[in-house]
Amino acid sequence: QSQAGQGSTFSIFLPLTLAIIDGLLVGVGEHRYIVPTLLVRESFRPTADMIHTVHERGEMINLRGRLHPLMRLYTHLGIAPGTTDPAQSIVVVVEAGSEIRCLLVDKLLGKHEVVIKSLGETFHRNRYLAGAAILGDGRVGLILDLQALVQKEPVPMEAAA
């Protein structure tokens, strides 16, 4: 509202149900995804001797003497990776409930506080996505539903190839 010689009044209405999370922005191929930091235990670059294949269980990472399933994120999301070599990638160790999984991503892009936006009809069938966020550069980052990813059975090595 404006009145000549008196000034202007601006009103901003914000929805009460804004959900804001801290997220770790990761890159997989040309895509960017947000991993909620509350569920991230650690991240590291694996060495070749840390990766093992267990019969009918798929790839595993030896993390301080314990084997944890390795999930190549690109296979679950159906996208092309930047690299398939784990030694050239980053492992993000996530925990949901009592389950631990190691997500293989191409790179870490930083930590961001993001506002969760719901996904439209286009993405509602992908159960590994919890929402989306508009990042500082104007691009969209898809927020991963780690609970759904962690509950998924590991993919055997033959199926991942």
Backbone φ and ψ of 84, nearest 5°: -105, -5
Backbone φ and ψ of 47, nearest 5°: -100, 160
Q: Taking the model in full, what pTM does it have? A: 0.77
Answer yes or no: are the C-beta atoms of 81 and 34 closer than 8 Å. Answer: no
Report the pLDDT value the prediction gives residue 138, as an integer from 0 to 100.
85
| Pairing outcome for strands 90-96 and 58-63 | unpaired
Residue range 33-78, pLDDT digits in tens: 999 999 999 999 999 899 998 877 789 999 999 999 999 999 988 8
Percent pLDDT > 90 in the chain is 46
